[in-house]
Amino acid sequence: MLNEYWGIPAIIGAVFFVLGIALIIWGVREGRNYYDSLINRVDLREFFSKWPLRPEPGALKTGGWISIILSIIIVGIGVLLYLLNK
């Protein structure tokens, strides 16, 4: 009975994959915007005081990679359930 639900992990894995890609893109854009704003500033107050608060670009990219790895694992579980259902 458990093997009939192989599609659920596949769908959840796909959602995590899309979320991971979105987080990586967001992290790259946030990093680019942050460092471009440093170039245009006369002083580096934003860089030193960390104001305004922004998500750290590295954390967004790391979260994206973790989400992609989880999606691969979850889709693998879905494929395993599909193969066991045959």
What residue spans define the domains of the chain?
A: 10-85
Q: Terminal CA-to-CA distance of the chain, rounded, Å?
A: 12
pLDDT band at residue 61 using 50, 70 and 90 as cut-offs:
confident
Determine the pLDDT at residue 54.
64
**Where does residue 83 fall: left (phi above 0), alpha (psi -120 to 50 degrees), or beta otherwise?**
alpha
Given a cut of 70, whether residue 83 has pLDDT beyond it is yes
Residue linked to tokens 């990093």? 31
Q: Could you give the residue ranges of the DSSP H alpha helices within the chain?
A: 7-40, 45-49, 57-85
